[in-house]
Amino acid sequence: MSSQNSGVNSSRPLVLSSGGKYLEAETIITEATRTVPLSQYTLMGKIAASSKWTPITNTTLTNTDGSQVPQGIYMGDDIPAATLAAGDVANVPILVADALVDASLVVFGKGPTGALATISAASVITMATGLPKRIDDALAERNIFFDQTVAIDGSEN
């Protein structure tokens, strides 16, 4: 018999594997209606025409401009709502490939007004090809995988 600590650890990093490919000087597009901060570790899509990033939300899942496809995770500090409402935010870091990440830390689509998204890693998006694909499968194509480890409280008998 062994005893296990709770898996809940606020100091656990998002990226659990060594490495990871980051783009350090990316731009997040203006969100004029944003009233809540953009959280660190938010799942992001990239608008094809502008190459600017935007959070994936319930609304963007139906877009056809590329922003509906998860292509990375925002790695910087929380961005105040006023900053995003005032204009594009430049020079932000985005994790774009080659990482195992803690699924419990990824922020799925908190919208500009703070409404919680009803999306998850299992949500289905429409790819540029018109074919449906789960969010976690789309990220797997970029070698970003979710660690779905379950926290265990108490002791094991």
Q: Count how many Cα atoms sit within 13 Å of the Cα of residue 120 in the half-sphere of its side chain.
A: 5
Cα(147)–Cα(149) distance, integer angstroms: 6
C-alpha 143/C-alpha 20 separation (Å) is 9
d(CA 132, CA 151): 31
Asked if 142 contacts 22 with a C-beta cutoff of 8 angstroms, the reply is: no
Domains of the chain: 21-147 (2.40.300)
SS3 24: strand
Q: Which of 40-44, 131-135, 140-144, 146-150 shows the lowest per-residue confidence on average (mean pLDDT)?
A: 146-150
- Examine the pLDDT at 153 and tell me if it is beyond 60: no
Please indicate, yes or no, whether the overall pTM of this predicted structure exceeds 0.85: no
